Structure 1
Amino acid sequence: MAQVIVVGAGIVGAASAYRLAEAGLKVLLLEKEATFAQGSTGRSAAGVRVQFSEPLNVLLSYHSILEYQRIPEAGYRPIGYLFLVPEALAEAQEEALRTQKALGVPVERLSLEEAREKVPFLEEGLAFATFGPMDGVIDPHGATAFYLKEARRLGAEVRFSEPLLGGERQGGLWRVETPKGRYEAPFLLLSTGAWTGEVGRRLGVEIPIWPVRRVVYATAPAPFPHAFPLTIDLGTGFYLRSEGERLLFGRSNPEEPPGFTEGVDWAWLGPTLEAGLARFPFLSELSLDRRASWWGYYEVTPDHNPILGFVAEGLLVAAGFSGHGVQQAAMVGRLMAEEVLLGRARSLDITPFGLERFLKGSLVGERGIV
C-alpha cells in the first residue's frame, strides 16, 4: 500500500512525487493521460520569473529557479523578463521592486532608454522598466521527465491512463478508484491543474479552481535578427519573447469564461495585435504562423494564486497557479513533502495560500498576474 497517492503527472505532481519519494515515502502517482505533461505544463509558455509583488510568490519562484539551474534536463535559459511600467502603475511597481530587493532576488530598475536596448518599443505613457536577469524560460517537458525519472529511481510507482473516478476517506485512509483498480493511502495529493475543481467534486470536496483558456500566438521566422527577453507591457498585459527565429506573443482575455473551451481563439488575435502594435510597431513586419500557435488552460482561483497544502483530513492540493505552476513547481514539490512529513511546510510559510483564505475573505493581492 502506498503512503501517498499523487494525482497528476504535470510538473507540480512530478516534483512532488520526487520529493516525497526522496523522503523515504512509498508513492503512487496516477495520471489520466497516456503520458506526462499533457495539461497546462506541456502547453505553457515556459517562463520563469521572480518579479512578483507578494513575498511568497517571489520566494516560490526564486527557489524553483535555483533548482532548475542545477538540472540540465530543465533547459534553463536566463533570457530575462522585461516589465514596461505605465505611469498609472509606477507606484505599485516601485513597491513590488522594494519587496523583491528586500528578499534578495536580482531585479533591476531600468530607464526607458536602457530598456530599449533590449527590445524596441514606443515610450508613450511609460514611466520606467524593470528587468530580472535570472528570469527566463525552461523546458517543462524536460524538467517533468527528470522528476519522474528520479521519483521512479527512488521507488515511486507511476501509472498512466488512470483517471481518478472517485474516492472517500475511510478508517484514516483515502480509498480511490480508477478504471483499472482501487488504491488506498493515508495521504492524497491533488496536483491536477485546471481539472482540480472537477476532481475535488469526485471526492466530495469543493475546491475553487476553474479552467480558463489562454492562447500563445507564434510568428513565422522574422526577417531581422532578434533575441528579445520576455517583455510585458503591464498597461495592456501584452507580452512577447523570442523563440529561435520566431516571436511568441499573447495577451490574456479578461472576458474569457471559465470552462474547457478548446482550440486557438482566432477572434482574440485582433485585440491582441492591436495592443501589441501600439507598443511594438515592428510587429507589423511579421507574419503569423497559425500552425505553430497553440492554446492551453490557466488553472484559476478567485484571487489567481494557488491553493497549497491540506484542504481536508489527509487531502492536499497543489494547484490553481494561474499560469505560474511551471515557475514554482520545484519549490512546491519540496513544500508538499514537508506538509506530509512534518504536518506543515517549514521552508516557507504557505498559510497565505491555504484554502481557508477564501472562507475568511482574505484574498492574496498579487499584482504580478499576467
Structure 2
Amino acid sequence: MGPDVLVVGAGIVGAASAFRLAEAGLRVLVLEKEATFAQGSTGRSAAGVRVQFSEPLNVLLSYHSILEYRAMPEAGYRPIGYLFLVPEALREVQEEALATQRALGVPVEKLALEAAQALVPFREQGLAYATFGPVDGIIDPHGATAHYLREARRLGAEVRFSEPLLGAQRKGGVWRVATPKGRYEAPLLLLCTGAWTGEVGRRLGLEIPIHPVRRMVYATAPAPFPHAFPLAIDLATGFYLRSEGPRVLLGRSNPAEPPGFAEGMDWEWLGPTLEAGLFRFPFLEGLALDRRASWWGYYEMTPDHNPILGFVEEGLLVAAGFSGHGVQQAAMVGRLMAEEVVHGEARSLDITPFRLGRFREGRFLKERGIV
C-alpha cells in the first residue's frame, strides 16, 4: 500500500511534519533531493529561536516550538536570550510589539540601557531602551532534524535521499510524482522545500511566491571574553552578533542582494556589515575574522517575509517561505500541518493569516521583527 502523504524536503520543517503526520497514523514518504538531511537553509542557519515578533501568529509559532525544543535533548536548546537594542525612531513600534508579546503570555522584558550593558557592551547613542527574551536562544538544527526523522521512521515513515522532484501531476485525486529514481503516488503532497519552493511549484505548474536570497554569517577567530553574549540585534541597522564558544558570530541582511541562487561568501558585504557593527559594538575592533569558519545560506523569502502554510489547492500543502524563521517555528508547524491533513484545517492555532490566499487578495502582513 502506498503512502497517504508525500513530504518533499528533509529539512527541519519537512522532518517535523513527517513525524507528526506519522504520529497521526498516516503512511508517510519523505523525498529529499540531497544525499542526507538538513543540507539547505536548515543546516546553514544561525540557529536562533525567539518569541520577539510583532505578529501574534509568529510569536505563538515560535513560543510553542521553543517549548518543544526545550523538552528535546537532541535539539541542544540553550536559552542565551535575544537582546533587541531599540532606536528612538522605533520606540513606539517596539512598545506595540512588546504589548502583543505580553498579551500572549510569552516572557519578554523591557530593559533600561544601563541594565542591557550587563549582557553585552554597546554604544548607547540613538537608542531608547532594550528588550530581552529570556527563553529566546539557539538550538542545534541538525540534532533536531535527525530526531524528527528518526521518530518518523520509528512510526513507519520512509525517507529517501538523492530524489529531487522532477515533476508532479494530479489525476483522479492522486498526485503522481517523478524523481530520477522512480515514480510515486499519494493523495496528498506537502512541499517543505524552503528556498526552492518557487522552483518546485513551477514544476507542478503553480506560481508560489517564494524565492531564495543569500545571507552571510561571519565568524571571528577565537578570543577570550568574560562571559557569553546573547544574540544582540541593533534594530537601527539590523546588525546582529552572538557568542559561539570563544568566537563571535555576526551578520547583517543586505537589502540590495538580488533574489536567486547565488553561491559563496559575499566578502564585499563584510565592509558595510562591520561598519554598522563597529559603531554599535566598538569591542569588535580588536577581533580578527576567521574566513574559514564563516558561511552562507539562503533565506526563503515571500513578498511580506512571512510563511505560506496549509492547503494551497486540493491535495497540495505548503509549509515554506519563513524568511529566516524556519528553524525557530518548525516544531509547531509540524503539528499544524498534521492537523491540517487530519482535520482539514489546523486547530491548535489559526493559520489563516499565513495562507497563500492573502497574496491573491493583496493582504500583506507587516511583521516588524524581521532581521
Q: Percent identity?
A: 83
Partner of 2:350: 349
Superposed counterparts of 1:1-370, under 5 Å:
1-370=2-371
Query: Matched residue of 1:90: which SS?
Result: helix
Query: Matched residue of 2:292: which SS?
Result: helix
Instruction: Give CA deviations for 1:63-117 in whole Å, capped at 9, x if unaligned.
Output: 0000001100000000000000000000000000000000000000000000000
Distance 1:121 1:369 in 2: 21
Aligned length: 370
Instruction: Give CA deviations for 1:231-288 in whole Å, capped at 9, x if unaligned.
Output: 0000000000000000000000000000000001000000000000000000001000
Letter in 1 for 2:318: V
Instruction: Give CA deviations for 1:330-363 in whole Å, capped at 9, x if unaligned.
Output: 0000000000000000000001000010011111
Instruction: Give CA deviations for 1:188-233 in whole Å, capped at 9, x if unaligned.
Output: 0000000000000001111000000000000001143330000000
Instruction: Give CA deviations for 1:276-329 in whole Å, capped at 9, x if unaligned.
Output: 000000000100000000000000000000000011110000000000000000
Structure 1: stretches of 5+ with no match in the other structure? none
Q: What is the TM-score normalised by the length of structure 1? A: 1.00
Query: Matched residue of 1:232: which SS?
Result: strand
Distance 2:152 2:5 in 1: 13
Distance 1:159 1:312 in 2: 25
Deviation >6 Å, runs of 4+: none
Preserved CA contact (<8 Å) 1:223 1:286? no
Distance 1:261 1:79 in 2: 32
Distance 1:53 1:212 in 2: 23
Query: Matched residue of 1:212: which SS?
Result: strand
Distance 2:52 2:90 in 1: 14
Distance 1:6 1:252 in 2: 30
Letter in 1 for 2:242: R
Distance 1:76 1:361 in 2: 38
